[in-house]
């Protein structure tokens, strides 16, 4: 009995010890220790604390926020965005510390339309500060065509993204001589700067919903328009990128030791979801296919022993001391179950089909990981 209780308590501790119910958990553990069912001091020591120990944890930092993105601004604040479970709005939260994000109040700055573009599937918002102004890049579809996903941009009217109004700038625009970009299922756009140039990297399918999702890269002319034609960075080449769906998506950029890396996520959104990585020399032409090499194997995948399933769609930031961190989403159980309440009325699938779709299981939680580098300067992603 006592052994079983210890196992269950440790599982509970691992899942919620960084959440707002930590104090309640401590009281429960203390009470159980009185009856000899668990050692309070022993279990309590496993909890994370402020600073480094907080990051050294597999626990969620924000519950039910897939596609997490953190931007650290020059004002010293961290800004967090992610897909809300209902896929119907854009929320931003702000805190002075990474740990503070878990208790920061989310502010809804924009909500979906009732019909037409941007009326369904509001996914993967990223907040960026470009040329002295705030922008959010996100994907959205239409109530009447839920897979007609395109990348959109909104811009803050002032300098406080939580208080000032946001203005819709419309769909991201392709370069004048590019007839292909953003004409099909397109999502997961991210912005980065390198060697004095600004780039947009995104996922796009060619041939409709069930075709392969590739990653594309282009230089930007402005915050809402590309300067160059699309360059295909990667397509699903390996078996681990082709489970249920052929997918490369969710790009994120990190640089180190004369190299630039673009991580990406692969396969469907269940436990098979995993991360790969692309690599190029920092002084290479990023729009040249020969500049890039790709990992043959996933660099992060499900770890059953640690109850982490389907890790991916990450982004990068730094902690308060400038050390690199990765934020990603994952579930803490293997078999995802779709919630019919999250599914639009225009989705005519059966109840059984919906429940089998992990896309509508809301429990992808945002988590942190400390990023280390190997002797060759490549990032290493390891669970604690």
Catalytic hit among 47, 59, 67, 332? 67
Integer Cα distance of 197 and 182 in angstroms: 21
Q: What's the first-to-final CA gap in the chain, in angstroms?
A: 28
Structure tokens that stand for 79 in this block: 């800004």
Beta-carbon contacts of 379 under 8 Å, excluding residues fewer than 6 positions away, are 254, 256, 261, 263, 277, 299, 324, 371, 372, 373
- 191 neighbors 315 (Cβ within 8 angstroms): no
Residue 134 sits at the vertex; the CA angle it makes with 132 and 140, to the nearest 5 degrees, is 145
334 is catalytic: no
352 is catalytic: no
Catalytic hit among 99, 249, 279, 332? 249
Bridge-partner residues for 328, per DSSP? 367
Q: In terms of DSSP H, where are the helices of 230-296?
A: none
Residue with tokens 């249920």: 244
* Stretch (H or E) spanning 78: strand 78-83
Integer Cα distance of 17 and 54 in angstroms: 10
Catalytic residues: 67, 249
């Amino acid at each position: 009995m006592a052994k079983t209780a210890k196992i269950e308590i440790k599982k509970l501790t691992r899942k919620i010890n960084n959440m707002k119910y930590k104090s309640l958990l401590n009281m429960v553990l203390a009470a159980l220790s009185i009856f000899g069912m668990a050692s309070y001091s022993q279990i309590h020591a496993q909890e994370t604390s402020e600073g480094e120990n907080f990051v050294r944890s597999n626990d969620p930092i924000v519950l039910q926020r897939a596609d997490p993105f953190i931007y650290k601004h020059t004002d010293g604040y961290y800004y967090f965005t992610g897909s809300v479970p209902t896929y119907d709005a854009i929320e931003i939260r702000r805190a002075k510390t990474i740990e503070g994000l878990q208790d920061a109040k989310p502010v809804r700055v924009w909500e979906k339309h009732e019909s037409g573009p941007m009326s369904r599937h509001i996914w993967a918002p990223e907040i960026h500060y470009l040329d002295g102004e705030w922008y959010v890049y996100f994907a959205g579809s239409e109530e009447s065509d839920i897979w007609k996903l395109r990348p959109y941009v909104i811009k803050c009217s002032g300098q406080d993204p939580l208080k000032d109004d946001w203005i819709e700038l419309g769909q991201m625009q392709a370069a004048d001589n590019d007839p292909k970009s953003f004409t099909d299922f397109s999502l997961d756009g991210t912005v980065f700067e390198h060697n004095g140039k600004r780039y947009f990297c995104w996922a796009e399918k060619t041939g409709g919903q069930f075709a392969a999702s590739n990653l594309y890269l282009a230089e930007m002319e402005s915050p809402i328009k590309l300067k160059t034609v699309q360059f295909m960075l990667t397509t699903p080449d390996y078996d681990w990128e082709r489970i249920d769906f052929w997918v490369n998506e969710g790009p994120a950029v990190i640089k180190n030791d004369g190299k630039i890396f673009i991580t990406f996520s692969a396969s469907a959104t269940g436990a098979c979801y995993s991360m790969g990585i692309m690599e190029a020399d920092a002084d290479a032409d990023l729009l040249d296919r020969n500049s890039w090499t790709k990992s043959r194997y996933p660099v992060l995948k499900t770890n059953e022993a640690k109850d982490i399933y389907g890790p991916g769609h990450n982004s990068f930031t730094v902690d308060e001391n400038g050390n690199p961190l990765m934020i990603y989403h994952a579930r803490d159980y293997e078999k995802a179950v779709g919630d019919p309440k999250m599914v639009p009325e225009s989705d005519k699938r059966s109840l059984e089909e919906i429940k089998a779709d992990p896309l509508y299981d809301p429990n992808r939680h945002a988590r942190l990981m400390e990023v280390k580098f190997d002797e060759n300067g490549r990032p290493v992603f390891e669970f604690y």
